[in-house]
Structure 1
Amino acid sequence: MALSGQTAVVTGAAMGIGRAVTELLLQHGAMVALLDVDESAGQSLKASLDQQHGAQRTLFLHCSVESEEQTKAAFQKTVETFGRVDILCNNAGILNEAEWERSVSVNLVAVIRLTYMALEHMNKGTGGRGGVIVNIASMAGLGPLPSCPVYTATKHAVVGFTRAMAAASTALGYGIRFNAVCPTFVQTDLFSNIYDRMGIFSQLADQTRKYANTGVLNVSEVAAGLLELVTDETKNGEALMLRNGGKTYMTFPTFSW
């Protein structure tokens, strides 16, 4: 899948993994709508990208992924500006065990919300052109992170949702591929603040530090994994685990109803 002329929507685009993904997609010729709740950071990134790629290649939209009204308007503005949506990267996420309901809202409910909104524009069955949706999950979506059980639960759910949507898309002819990126710890604000956001599980901080000492990825490594899942048209329903030792496409047990 060549990215030249394609339109991508990236949530949580202003910093961290979202910024790295945005920059990489632009380098490969895509146009990108940047969605973020941090207007200052988003406008600053937009100005920087305008100098590198031209003002017409990006669109910044101040948007909370928890708001149905704002996310719907963001998709509509993206289509009005670029004419289409081909790629969605559900990247926005938080880690805060003390605010578990908001963690579920941002990490899972918003992924479902944005995915269903993207279907309205991308589904071949209703006039769309198809495309690909990549969700940023975590290694915590493949195995438990004891100090962060709610974060673990949301990321497991994202992996399951991704795989089920891939199967549904194939069965119903949506023409949309669904994949998940599952990185280990990544050098972002989320990781930097993790030890302050474990809530009642803060006594497990030392154990988490031991896990982190095995290696921390940089954001460009995660962006590269996402790019592979976007451009390789054979990838659908995949969970790509990223860690310092390299990448692994997960093999799940065969299950039949």
Structure 2
Amino acid sequence: MALNGKTAVVTGAALGIGKAITEILLQNGAKVTLLDINETAGKTLEEALNKQYGEKRSLFFKCNVQSEEQIKVAFQSTVDTFGGIDIVCNNAGILNEKQWEKTVSVNVVGLIRVSYVALEYMNKLNGGKGGTIINVASVAGLTPVPSCPVYTATKHAVIGFTRAMAAASSASGYGLCFNAVCPSSVKTDLFASVMDNLGQFSHLLYSTQNPAVERAMKCYVDDDPSSTSIRLAHVLQRQLLTRFMEIISCHFSSFKMPALLHKMSIAPKASAAF
């Protein structure tokens, strides 16, 4: 996969899946702007990545996706530094049933904010180049997870928003491809704090209405966030600017990314793969 000359913006980029996504993008030739609320981790990662992949290949901004002003500053600085934006990955997210309003604000409102700012810069009708917007949802967006009902609701919302924006882009000629990626449980900082943040629902952890999903969550917790980012990278390899590819990555043994991509490459405009 070659992304030479492409510029990506990744939210929640300092740790976990976001960090792995950033590394995959850099490995394949892209320049990356890292956005994260964790300034210490973000600056440390920026320094390490520029040392490994070349100076000025990555750029970090402290950014809270709840702040439209911070998002706009980061996007404008990216354009000023790299000349444009081709890829946006909405990865920032939290799981906190105790502070459920914040969970909605970050996971849904924040993702929409970033998407709309991205639209301003990337929309072909506004003079942009088009490109790809990838929204990181979750297996919780596909099935009820009783231990975290608000988180579940936010990830269902991400999938719904992605589908609607894909249809809007296709109908309006924005030149943007919207994708949703749904990882299962990955051992990141978010996963490590799950028990503390479930509150009254902690006794329901791993209890779902879907046995296959329950097995995936309970027995196949992925130690390596990069496995999700590799699947995501394949989306970029065969992007279809006027179609919607929804890549559902649940780590089931039957999941075959190459075959799935082949199906999506010949699928109708609005399609989904599970």
Which moves more between the two structures, 91-100 or 218-227?
Answer: 218-227
Deviation of 1:133 after TM superposition, in Å, equals: 0.3
Please give the per-residue CA displacement for 1:2-22, whole angstroms capped at 9, x wherever unaligned: 410100000010000000000
- In structure 2, the residue matched to 1:241 is 249
Give, as a single letter, the amino acid of the residue that structure 2 aligns with 1:78: T
In 1, the alpha carbon distance for the partners of 2:254 and 2:225 equals 14
The answer to whether the 8 Å contact 1:85/1:121 transfers is yes
Please give the per-residue CA displacement for 1:14-66, whole angstroms capped at 9, x wherever unaligned: 00000000000000000000001111000110111111112211111111111
- In structure 2, the residue matched to 1:32 is 32
The answer to whether the 8 Å contact 1:163/1:237 transfers is no
- In structure 2, the residue matched to 1:221 is 227
Q: 1:126-165 maps to which residues of 2 (within 5 A)? A: 126-165=126-165
Give, as a single letter, the amino acid of the residue that structure 1 aligns with 2:53: H
The answer to whether the 8 Å contact 1:134/1:230 transfers is no
- Pairs aligned (count): 253
Give, as a single letter, the amino acid of the residue that structure 1 aligns with 2:128: G
- Of 202, 220, 232, the match for 2:238: 232
- In structure 2, the residue matched to 1:185 is 185
Identity score, percent: 55
Please give the per-residue CA displacement for 1:57-111, whole angstroms capped at 9, x wherever unaligned: 1111111111111111110111111010100000000000000000001001011
Partner SS, residue 182 of structure 2:
strand
Deviation of 1:244 after TM superposition, in Å, equals: 4.2
Deviation of 1:239 after TM superposition, in Å, equals: 3.8
In 2, the alpha carbon distance for the partners of 1:206 and 1:180 equals 23
- In terms of fraction of residues, the more strand-rich structure is 1
Give, as a single letter, the amino acid of the residue that structure 1 aligns with 2:179: N
Deviation of 1:202 after TM superposition, in Å, equals: 1.6
Q: 1:86-165 maps to which residues of 2 (within 5 A)? A: 86-165=86-165
Shift in alpha-carbon separation, 1:58–1:31, aligned structure 2, 3 A: same
Deviation of 1:207 after TM superposition, in Å, equals: 3.4
RMSD, matched Cα: 2.0
In 1, the alpha carbon distance for the partners of 2:195 and 2:234 equals 31
The answer to whether the 8 Å contact 2:228/2:249 transfers is no
In 1, the alpha carbon distance for the partners of 2:122 and 2:206 equals 45
- In structure 2, the residue matched to 1:59 is 59
The answer to whether the 8 Å contact 1:241/1:247 transfers is yes
User: TM-score by structure 2 length?
Assistant: 0.87
Where do 5+ consecutive residues of structure 1 fail to align?
A: none
Please give the per-residue CA displacement for 1:134-181, whole angstroms capped at 9, x wherever unaligned: 010000001111100000000000001001111110000000000010
In 2, the alpha carbon distance for the partners of 1:45 and 1:156 equals 31
Deviation of 1:192 after TM superposition, in Å, equals: 1.5
In 1, the alpha carbon distance for the partners of 2:245 and 2:202 equals 34
- In structure 2, the residue matched to 1:201 is 201
Deviation of 1:115 after TM superposition, in Å, equals: 0.3
The answer to whether the 8 Å contact 2:146/2:205 transfers is no
Give, as a single letter, the amino acid of the residue that structure 2 aligns with 1:158: V
Which moves more between the two structures, 36-45 or 240-249?
Answer: 240-249
